[in-house]
Amino acid sequence: MVLCFSGVTVTHATPVVGNFGATGGALSLTGTPINPSIDFFTLPGFVPSPGTTGNFLVGPATMGSFTGRLGEMAIIKDLATTLAGPLPITNFIVLPNAPGIVFHLTSLDPGVFSPGNCASAPAAGQGCTLPGSAFSFLNTSANTSTASFNVRGTANFSATPGDISNFSGVFTMQFSDMSYQALFAALASGATVATTFSASFTVTPQQTLQETPEPATLLLLGTGLVVTTATARRRHNRRRE
């Protein structure tokens, strides 16, 4: 929408908005169980590429700005999931097809479980978050599990970096052959653990105005309103006479 006041135009922004899922991705974990490093694999072929970038496919539930992007290959940067950083990560996710959309990672939420079951014998339904970790581990059986973490940041169309939206997302990894206790043991031994992942993202506008009028513009707006008001009064007075 465009508003005009005395020749001055204020344009409302068109920020990124909507939802989309991620599918067809794989990654590997290395390092400590508390904050392992994540290497997103490149497509096609699920090729490890430590310290650079990987890919996933835009999946179902695409809405808003993501409508029609199902199957697009996204680019995602590798990360270390420590809550202390290194953050922010600019261009954390990029949807390169026109119009390009970029996501900048600013924070990770703490995991949601307590550490009480982290060292228990594996059993279905157990949840675990190690102290200081962003991961929420869940045993779906005595020998299968998932791990999830939540991300937050900003998003914008690459052509209009000033039109900023907020995004939140959740990544979920699936381990079809190990409990989280077995995963902890593997990482502690120095192993690299590879698995598939899915994700979902929600993007909401942060601001509605693309341009904020500067003082000179505000003066012009005010002058225009004063002139308009004075003209209306003169016309009203003439009619009364």
Cα separation, 156 vs 207, whole angstroms: 11
pLDDT at res. 43: 86
Alpha-carbon distance of 216 to 213, in angstroms, equals 8
3-state secondary structure of 13: coil
Record the pTM. 0.80
The per-residue pLDDT string of the chain (241 residues; one tens digit each, 9 = 90 and over) reads 444 444 444 444 589 999 999 998 999 999 999 989 999 999 887 788 777 899 999 998 889 999 999 999 999 999 887 776 688 999 999 999 989 999 999 999 999 999 999 999 999 999 999 999 999 999 999 999 999 999 999 999 999 998 999 999 999 999 999 999 999 999 999 999 999 999 999 999 985 544 445 555 445 445 554 445 555 555 555 555 5
DSSP 77-129: E-EE--TT-S--EEEEEEE-SSSPEEEEEEEEPPPSS-STTTTSPP-TT-EE-
Q: Is 43 left (phi over 0), alpha (psi -120 to 50) or beta?
A: beta
CA-based torsion, 15, 66, 29, 116: positive or negative:
positive
